[in-house]
Structure 1
């Protein structure tokens, strides 16, 4: 019977992508184990690209986790008692987690956080191991105006002015972001076929980013996809510092931030985000594409 390793990351697209180095470290550290990832089912198209996951169970949030007696359970979800207890309830032979192991530290980049956790347990992990592929850069520029919360959404009229200046542009978003993406596309004077929000599932978005020449977006999952496919990116940060969630330094990624912290779950655009001007974004585009 195969040895079983269960990892919990019941979060979104960007969260999964920041955990790729940790998942690959688990693959290297436990080559004899079958690795099951507890994560939202909709993220399934990403998993083969990681080379680190053998199976998936559909879990959104910190649990419960429908799995029994893994040899090893790894908490890549968070520090809260719910996720720790959810994994303890699977009756693992060994639990790897904050709380059970090292203390949680604030002010650590999300990628490094999970690599540091594994290193504490003697498992080598490389925070730079983020790549899923390399864009051939034959596709369009992607402008993605949406984000999970209004605090992280730069105004649509500003995104539209950037899109209008960039030429070969498509506007992306999920089904809930269709009105926002449509507003950006219309203000930018783009033809209807350039408005792709609500028309691409995750597999389609992966394919699109995997060919893109450039991504311009806020602090959201598409920014991490750009990093994963080595696509030049300009990422606009508001209430959260790029030191915690931003792209790695170098390789044509620019993170714009006004230096102000705020509430990432706020119901209005963050005041720091609003300090970023269209001209700054256009200048950053020239920087990463020249």
Structure 2
């Protein structure tokens, strides 16, 4: 059997921005086994793409545990430098799809563009090998699992790094306003963000049962978002789930422009940002990015109103 190996050993948002490239490779090699090297936690969502036959558990920039004959094709969907290229080279694949860059100028591939949207970037990579990919092909199948709360307003105050976290008291104000409209409001997050979610719920006057952080698993979270009325979040994986299910969303951007990681234009999504272009800030920073702090509660509530009102 022929095989196509795709390296994307990163987080939820990274995984979801790669979906159009996964599907393009599936179409290009319909008889091959498509294998995604990615964190084990993403296994349930890999099945929802319709493009991945097998998930091979792998850590970020860790050796790919490939113990079979070399794959026919290996694709570096991680980055543009030697650290990830070496992992692809180690598989011995006959065809190796990788980006060239200042750090890897001798690679036979397209040149990395720092200002390219993350979805478009991986579509362009496979396009270099004559494989057309549609950047709008982002939708996931809906999980069979029932959502823990139906038609909820999902508020997600967490993010992997403080630089991308809007202040909790502002999230609480938004959650309080959404609850005042009579809709169920839930606060999501990882198990490590449960205290943050509980603090937001308490400040918003929500019951303890509204705190779902750490309780859903990725499949449950996907089911929740797929059925949600609206999602309000920082620039993190949950915002990409809202895109994957076409759910109205408001996403708050700070160190990184939505031009690089934001939702596609034309959908029921609002990306709020107070940046002015140029190179991104430090998305891994330990302090909330100043641009994120410029976003007000009133702006978020106005964005939510705009999603409910038909366009003029």
Same fold by TM-score, threshold 0.5 exceeded? yes
Runs of 4+ in 1 over 4 A off after TM superposition: 133-138
Quote the Cα distance in structure 2 between the aligned partners of 1:246 and 1:117.
19
Distance in 1, Cα, partners of 2:236 & 2:261: 9
Q: Distance in 2 between matches of 1:146 and 1:263?
A: 17
CA contact (8 A) 1:134 1:231 kept: no
Indicate how the Cα distance of structure 1 residues 201 and 194 shifts in structure 2: closer, same or farther if over 3 A, else same: same
Give the alignment partner of residue 119 of structure 1, picking from 110, 119, 127.
127
TM-score (norm 2): 0.90
Is 1:201 equivalent to 2:205 in the alignment? no
1:120 Cα deviation after fit: 1.1
From 237, 256, 268, the counterpart of 2:253: 237
**C-alpha deviations, 1:51-95, integer Å up to 9, x for none?**
100011101112301114111111111112111101111111111
Native 8 Å contact 2:233 2:252 kept in 1:
yes
Corresponding residue number in structure 1 for 2:136: 128
Deviations 1:30-52 (A, max 9, x none): 11111010000000110111010
**CA contact under 8 A between 1:133 and 1:230: conserved in structure 2?**
no
| 2:198 maps to 1:182 | yes
Q: Is the 8 A contact 1:70 1:92 kept in 2?
A: yes
Matches within 5 A, 1:48-197: 48-67=47-66, 68=68, 69-99=70-100, 100=107, 101-133=109-141, 138-167=150-179, 168-197=184-213
How far the C-alpha of 1:134 sits from its partner, in A, is 7.0
3-state SS in 2 of match to 1:142: strand
Aligned-residue CA RMSD in angstroms?
1.5
Are residues 134 and 281 of structure 1, via their aligned partners in 2, closer, same or farther at CA, if it must alter by over 3 Å?
farther
Distance between the aligned counterparts of 1:97 and 1:199, measured in 2?
A: 38
Gaps of 5+ in 2: 101-106
| Count of matched residue pairs | 289
Q: How high is the TM-score relative to the length of structure 1?
A: 0.97
Q: Output aligned runs, 1:7-46, within 5 Å.
A: 7-46=6-45
8 Å contact 1:74–1:96 — kept in the other structure?
Answer: yes
- Structure 1 Cα separation of the partners of residues 98 and 44 of structure 2: 26
SS in 1 for 2:205: coil
Alpha-carbon contact 2:164-2:255 (below 8 Å) kept: yes
> Contact conserved, 2:117 with 2:260, CA < 8 A, in 1?
yes
In 2, Cα distance between equivalents of 1:228 and 1:170: 19
- Contact kept, 8 Å, 2:153 with 2:185, in 1: the verdict is yes
The SS at the match of 1:36 is: strand
Cα shift at 1:3: 0.4
How far 1:198 moved relative to its partner?
1.3
